[in-house]
Amino acid sequence: MADAYVIVFAALMLPAGLLGDRFGRRPMLIAGLVVFLAGSVLGTLADDVNLVIAARAVMGVGAALIMPLAMSVLPSLFTPDEQGKAIGLVSTGSALGMPLGPVIGGWLLQHFWWGSIFLINVAMVAIAVLACVFLLPETLPHSRMRSSGGTPIPATPEVDTLSTAFTTGGLGALIYAIIEAPGRGWGDPLILAMFAAAAIPISGLVLRSRRVERPMLDMTLLAHRGFLLNTVAATLVMFVLAGLMFVLPPYLQAVLGNDSLGTGVRMLPMVLGLSVAAKLATPLATRFGARASVSAGLVVLAFAALLGSRTTTGSGYGFTALWLTIAGLGFGLALVPAMTGALATLPRDRAGWGSPHAFRAVGEAEAC
């Protein structure tokens, strides 16, 4: 049930972000919300584990559209002076969803049937669709063109079926291998076969991208030092955050003996740290520079991870709450300026492709 969502999410995120750059981010964002809504409704009605897995896969399709496009509209909606605050707010909201999810989910499971954890998505997505329809302007005109040698060509790449197949096949196989390797072993024949199966289409994608004028995978963006460093930083942060969210609930439940609601409540110190850091990140980045803020956040996060590694069955919740708070501070200090800096280096017509949310999927896969 976890893997179905993550694999689909990761495999489709690159072409999904490109669709927003090509056809307009508002309609594609609404389409992603509608697909996610359909998956949530299916999950609510499911009475069989296979149907739940199918519902999670459908939700992964919707999320692949939602995650990059929700961030990519910000540079077009806000002035450069406002973008830092806007990106910080969105990044914080996205990050807070991970620790707050167990709180809300735990409360629902205690008071309603298990399908209610999907039902709440229906209400949230319905509100989001209405907000997009009535409040979000289109950020990329369909007719936008640029000139090359006197010949008008689209400002964004055409939908390339072959590149899309390379992307989904390669990333899907890669994420599956990463998820299954810890259980099967990195030398397992199936894992090695999946890595080989991933390498072939990904290599094909890179080779094709070098030949076409407007490729799906624009390797030149990685030549932007600011984009590359900030994306790597955001990826490292998401590795830690996703991994933490994967192992912490079992520890709080199986070791400390909390129920689902109690487990969620005991993850709130991270929310406190994130909230404080989100307010501090932009002023600190303005005063000392984004690189200093991101570096400080990564150091704080590493210290929190060091403390977390010392947790034992007898540590008690107080020690856990301490390093959770510090981890929240590190997440906020590193993630907000990293995403702001990465998006600031991108051309507006490639914001959907380069949204740092695309690197979240890799962190989630490693956690699974």
How do the domains of the chain map onto residue ranges? 1-73+136-219, 80-113+225-345
Q: Are 291 and 133 in contact (CB under 8 A)?
A: no
pLDDT of 357 above 70? no
Q: Which of 28-42, 81-95, 225-239 has the lowest mean pLDDT?
A: 81-95
How does pLDDT run across 249-280, given as a tens digit for each residue? 888 888 888 887 788 788 888 888 888 887 78
Q: How far is CA 254 from the centre of its chain?
A: 28
Residue that is written with structure tokens 């989100």 in the block: 278
Contact 274, 333 (CB under 8 A): no
**185-207 pLDDT, tens per residue?**
888 999 999 999 999 998 988 88
Q: Is the pTM of the predicted complex or chain greater than 0.85?
A: no
The model's confidence at residue 361, banded by pLDDT at 50, 70 and 90, is very low
What are the tens digits of pLDDT across the range 151-167?
A: 444 455 566 788 888 88
Q: What is the largest CA-CA distance in the chain?
A: 72
Cα pseudo-dihedral 221, 226, 227, 230, rounded to 10: 160
CB 301 within 8 A of CB 327: yes
Closest CA to 94 of 343, 266, 336: 336
Q: Give residue for tokens 């991208």.
A: 209
The pLDDT score that the predictor gives to residue 350 is 54
Is the CB of residue 277 less than 8 Å from the CB of residue 328?
A: yes
Half-sphere exposure at residue 169, Cβ-oriented, CA atoms within 13 angstroms? 15
**Predicted pLDDT of residue 362:** 43
- Of 79-88, 124-133, 139-148, the range with the highest mean pLDDT is 124-133
